[in-house]
Amino acid sequence: MISKDLLQKLNEQIGLEFESANIYLQMSSWCAANGLDGCASFLRAHTAEEMSHMFRLFDYVNEIGEMAIIPEIPKPRAEYENVRELFSATLEHEKYITRKINELTAAAFEDKDFSTFNFLQWYVAEQHEEEALFNKILDLVDMVGHEGRGLYHLDKEITTISADVVAGPSASTEMPG
Ligand code: OFO
């Protein structure tokens, strides 16, 4: 049986995945409003991926006979100076999520809850991919630039990354039913 403390942490993580989805959805709106349709569609696809992270946790909590409680979700930031600042914020956010997943995994281990510990391994691997993805995008931003013609190329290139992400094994945009 899962401890109260660990259950609360899983519910908090459900909230964090919702928060990630909302952050990226809001970012996609900023991109669309600034004429960056490629970035907007990449971030929208990533929103669906975050929702799949949320559903995976939600289903796990229900499967172990507990009730998932969705916490309050903070309002996402809506304004950015430029697209570099926006993608820099995505990487910082993913680093924060990695820290939270690590804390959660450590708590499961300390509780000797090896079923939950095993379940969380997927998130440990996923966070490695998430950080690598946003690092790659930031490198791209720095290579092509984020002004004038560079911005046009960046928006086109992001569409390619977007296609890779959608095709990737762990990056399904489908929401588990
Ligand atoms: Fe971006 O990985 Fe979930 O939050």
Cα 50 to ligand 1 centroid, rounded to whole Å: 5
Cα(53) to ligand 1 centroid in Å equals 7
Are the beta carbons of 162 and 24 closer than 8 angstroms?
A: no
CB of 49 closer than 6 A to ligand 1? no
Give the C-alpha separation, 131 to 72, whole Å: 25
State the closest ligand 1 atom to the C-alpha of 54, by its place in the atom list counted from 1.
3
Is the pLDDT score of 171 beyond 70? no
| 90 Cβ contact partners less than 8 Å away, ≥ 6 residues apart | 23, 24, 27, 134, 137
pLDDT tens-digit map of 86-142: 999 999 999 999 999 999 999 999 999 999 999 999 999 999 999 999 999 999 999
No. of helices (H) and no. of strands (E), the chain: 5, 0
Are the C-beta atoms of residues 134 and 94 closer than 8 Å to each other? yes
> For residues 23 and 77, is the Cβ–Cβ distance under 8 A?
yes
With a 6 Å cutoff on the Cβ, whether 94 touches ligand 1 is: yes
pLDDT at 168: 47
Residue 174 tokens read as 């489908």
113 CB near ligand 1 (under 6 Å): no
Check whether 164 has a pLDDT greater than 80.
Answer: no
Checking if the pLDDT of 156 tops 80, the result is yes
